[in-house]
């Protein structure tokens, strides 16, 4: 999640999301982890601004969501096999 969207996000908040590979399923879960660092902090080659060329870039902070159930047409269904890297659209209920 981008750092500009983090305000108001707390552990335990409800999250609803869809996975591109399963367009008819709606996944529900809760936020259970908010990262304490940005993705660039631990990159293989972190940016070095020693030369004075600073450019402000919005950083990404990792957030983990635990799954609680999967719904299709209003009925709970078994969890499909998900893989790391699948494209999702997440909405965190505030």
16-31-19-36 Cα dihedral, nearest 10 degrees: 140
What angle is formed at CA 88 by the lines to CA 65 and CA 25, rounded to 5 degrees?
Answer: 90
d(CA 24, CA 53): 47
Residue 58 has pLDDT above 90, yes or no: no
User: Is residue 81 within 8 Å of 21, Cβ to Cβ?
Assistant: no
pLDDT class of 65 with cuts at 50, 70, 90: very high
Domain boundaries 3-39+57-92, CATH class = mainly beta
pTM more than 0.95: no
pLDDT value at residue 87? 93
């Amino acid at each position: 999640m981008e750092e500009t969207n983090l305000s108001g996000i707390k552990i335990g908040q409800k999250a609803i999301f869809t996975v591109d590979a399963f367009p008819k399923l709606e996944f529900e879960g809760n936020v259970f982890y908010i990262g304490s660092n940005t993705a660039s902090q631990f990159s293989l080659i972190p940016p070095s601004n020693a030369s004075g060329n600073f450019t402000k870039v919005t950083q990404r902070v990792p957030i983990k969501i635990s799954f609680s159930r999967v719904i299709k047409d209003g009925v709970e269904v078994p969890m499909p096999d998900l893989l790391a890297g699948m494209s999702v659209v997440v909405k965190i209920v505030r």
